[in-house]
């Protein structure tokens, strides 16, 4: 039965975000956002949370608004004199308060500047909104004045060293020319983005241009560049799906969530709730109406370069049964890690096999392994290539309970290594750690099929503890009973929880 009493609303603590702030009159700084915050000029008696020194900033310039129910940050320009640009587009006045609230994604670039961004104001302000930057992220400086050329890439000789395997050895070069400073894409595999647009060959840089090379952000400051190097760790996965239709039928709608590095997410849902559709949308295999942002870059817009960062371990093993484990992994390493020496590849393969507890299988034929062992080899193949996001579709199907538990522990440890792991599974209880009396999953995503229009919608996304509280259940497996229709043995409360989650 539906509750008849109004429930007390207890807001969850705001999830953090970080702002890299480059104000013209002071050193670049990182600002941790832990909820809504206002910005404005540093005038006497200013009540703004973030006070900027630049003279082109209005007293009440704008505000970051945190929406607790959507766990999302929005930005509103308070009809300021010079306005705010988000990713190169100026926010327009909407009402007396200001512009429409614009939902911010990881890596969005906000600028307070002249109308023509090609001729930036000397006191322009740059803010990069991020859910991947650490508050104590190290930013380094490379001076351009005493150099003719600055190299960017994975090679140790590069002035701007990028550890992300997505970067090429010498990925790009910055040149000082008579006409200005130019960035040149050195025929890199994954390209160079300047202000979110992939450049073709080369491009001249303007003050405060934001360059992305793999997961490294580089900011052009005229006489110098500022850059970070997040290494191999995954950043933030931000999924914002308005809908996904097939023909005239909408399969899923309004699925928004954000995952951080080390998140181990359980995806729950009854049959027909759209789990496979969601997986395909996150993989970019079937692009949904919406966006998938990985490390501040749109997967859909940069599919060719980013697709390999999101790996799928399918429900059914996709391996050549007549090949040996070691040969399969070495071939994968040969293709995906061309810059590694033979010895480095051997060490990586051995480390992965050891982590998955299958070192003794390396000389066995894949076809002669058990179902569980084959699934572990599938995971090993995906691990070879330094993916940032792993999606596993029912990895526990066909496994005995002991193997399932072990597999969940392995997946947890993969997430702990700095990855984002999403697992679609009906065996949620195998993810319960008896010793610690808690689930191994850090978050739970529940898709429920609405009875109103047969469309899968988000019924919950949050921590496992919040999930149990939200559904009023003792274990995760009971969530499925709550949302499943009565003819599938459930309580038929899908729409109730969809509405409840939306209205939180």
Partner 1 sequence: MQTASFFKQTHVYFKKVTRISIREKAWIYLAFAVIIALIVNLVTASDMFENLDSTKSGFFTMASACIWIGVFNSIQSICKEHDIIRSEYRQGTKLSSYVCAHVLWQAVLCFVQSLIIFTVCLCFGFFGDSFDNGVIFHPLAEYFITVFLLTFGAAVLGLMVSSFSGTPTTAMKIMPFVLIIQLILSGVLFELTGLAEGAAVITFSKWGMAAFGSIGDLNTLEPKIASELADKIPNFDKSIVAVTDDAFQHEAGNLLASWGWCLGLTAVFVLIAILSLKLKNRDS
Window contacting partner 1 (CB under 8 A); options: 84-92, 327-335, 397-405, 492-500: 327-335
Is there binding between residue 234 and partner 1 (CB under 8 A)?
no
How big is the CA angle at 295 (ends 290 and 298), to the nearest 5 degrees? 30
Among 28, 314, 357, 492, binds partner 1 (CB under 8 A): 314
What dihedral do alpha carbons 161, 85, 127, 232 form, nearest 10°?
-40
189 binds partner 1 (CB under 8 A): yes
- What's the token pair of residue 309? 């960062």
Cβ closer to partner 1: 331 or 409?
Answer: 331
Which among 303-311, 354-362, 411-419, 426-434 is the span making contact with partner 1, rule CB under 8 A? Answer: 303-311
Query: How far apart are CB 190 and partner 1 at their closest, in Å?
Result: 7
For the record, the structure tokens of 420 come out as 């984002």
| Pairwise CA distance, residues 478 & 491, whole Å | 10
- Specify the 3-state DSSP secondary structure of 445: strand
**Residue 151 — φ and ψ, nearest 5°?**
-95, 145
Residues facing 420 on adjacent strands: 389
Residue 407 as a binder of partner 1 (CB under 8 A): the answer is no
For partner 1, the binding residue among 57, 104, 125, 166 (CB under 8 A) is 166
CA distance 264 to 464: 10
Scanning 92-100, 104-112, 256-264, 378-386 for contacts with partner 1 by CB under 8 A, the matching segment is 378-386
Give 431's DSSP letter.
G
Smallest distance, Å, CB 366 to partner 1? 11
Q: Annotate each residue in 255-294 with x if it binds partner 1 (CB under 8 A) or - if it does not, as one string.
A: ----------------------------x-xx--------
Minimum CB–partner distance for residue 393 and partner 1 (Å): 12
Contact 147, 159 (CB under 8 A): yes
Q: Which of residues 382-401 bind partner 1 (CB under 8 A)?
A: 382, 385-386
Judge whether 46 and 103 are in contact, CB under 8 Å: no
For 337, phi and psi rounded to 5 degrees? -125, 60
Asked if 32 touches partner 1 (CB under 8 A), the answer is: no
How many residues in total does the chain contain? 504
If you ran DSSP here, which 8-state letter would residue 93 be given?
B
339 lies in the binding site for partner 1 (CB under 8 A): yes
Phi-psi region of 279 (alpha: psi -120 to 50; beta: other; left: phi over 0): alpha
Name the strand (E) or helix (H) holding 283.
helix 275-283
Q: Assess 342 for contact with partner 1 (CB under 8 A).
A: no
Work out how close the CB of 276 gets to partner 1 at its nearest, in angstroms, rounded to a whole number: 14
Among 235, 269, 274, 311, binds partner 1 (CB under 8 A): 311
Enumerate binding residues for partner 1 (CB under 8 A): 165-169, 188-190, 283, 285-286, 305, 307-309, 311-312, 314, 316, 318-320, 322-323, 327, 331-332, 334-336, 338-339, 365, 382, 385-386
């Amino acid at each position: 039965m539906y509750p008849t009493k109004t429930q007390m609303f207890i807001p969850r603590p705001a999830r953090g975000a970080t702002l890299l702030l480059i104000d013209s009159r002071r050193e670049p700084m990182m600002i941790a956002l832990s909820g809504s915050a206002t910005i404005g000029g540093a005038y006497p008696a200013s009540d703004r949370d973030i006070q900027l020194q630049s003279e082109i900033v209005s007293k009440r310039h704008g505000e970051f608004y945190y929406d607790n129910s959507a766990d999302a940050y929005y930005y509103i320009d308070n009809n300021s004199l010079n306005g705010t640009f988000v990713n190169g587009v100026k926010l327009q006045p909407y009402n007396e308060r200001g512009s429409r609230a614009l939902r911010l994604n990881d890596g969005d670039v906000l600028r307070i500047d002249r109308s023509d961004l090609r001729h930036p104001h000397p006191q322009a302000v740059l803010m990069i909104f991020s859910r991947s930057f650490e508050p104590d992220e190290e930013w380094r400086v490379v001076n351009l004045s005493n150099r003719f050329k600055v190299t960017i890439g994975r090679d140790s000789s590069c002035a701007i060293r990028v550890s992300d395997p997505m970067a090429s050895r010498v990925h790009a070069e910055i040149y000082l020319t008579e006409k200005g400073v130019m960035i040149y894409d050195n025929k890199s595999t994954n390209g160079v983005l300047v202000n979110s647009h992939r450049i073709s060959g080369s491009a001249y840089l303007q003050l405060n241009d934001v360059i992305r090379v793999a997961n490294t952000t580089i900011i052009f400051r005229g006489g110098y560049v500022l850059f970070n190097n997040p290494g191999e760790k995954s950043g933030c996965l931000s999924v914002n799906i308005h809908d996904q239709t097939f023909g005239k039928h909408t399969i899923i709608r309004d699925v928004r969530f954000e995952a951080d590095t080390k998140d181990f997410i359980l995806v729950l849902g009854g049959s027909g709730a759209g789990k496979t559709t969601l997986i395909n949308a996150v993989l970019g295999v079937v692009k949904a109406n919406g966006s998938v942002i990985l490390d501040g870059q749109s997967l859909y817009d940069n599919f060719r370069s980013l697709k390999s960062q999101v790996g799928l371990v399918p429900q059914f093993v996709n391996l050549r049964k007549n090949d040996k484990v070691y040969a399969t992994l070495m071939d994968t390493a040969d293709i995906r890690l061309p810059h590694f020496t033979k010895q480095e590849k051997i060490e990586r393969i051995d480390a992965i096999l050891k982590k998955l507890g299958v070192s003794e299988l390396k000389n066995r034929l894949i076809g002669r392994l058990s179902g569980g062992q084959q699934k572990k080899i599938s995971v090993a193949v995906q691990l070879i290539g330094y993916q940032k996001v792993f999606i596993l579709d029912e990895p526990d199907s066909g496994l005995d309970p002991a193997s399932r538990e072990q597999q969940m522990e392995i997946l947890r440890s993969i997430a702990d290594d700095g990855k984002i792991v999403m697992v679609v599974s009906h065996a949620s209880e195998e993810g319960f750690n008896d010793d610690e009396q808690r689930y191994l999953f850090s978050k739970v995503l529940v898709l429920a099929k609405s009875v109103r229009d047969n469309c899968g919608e988000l019924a919950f996304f949050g921590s496992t503890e919040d999930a149990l509280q939200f559904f009023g259940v003792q274990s995760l497996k009971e969530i499925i009973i709550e949302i499943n229709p009565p003819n599938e043995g459930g309580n038929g409360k899908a729409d109730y929880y969809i509405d409840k989650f939306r209205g939180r």
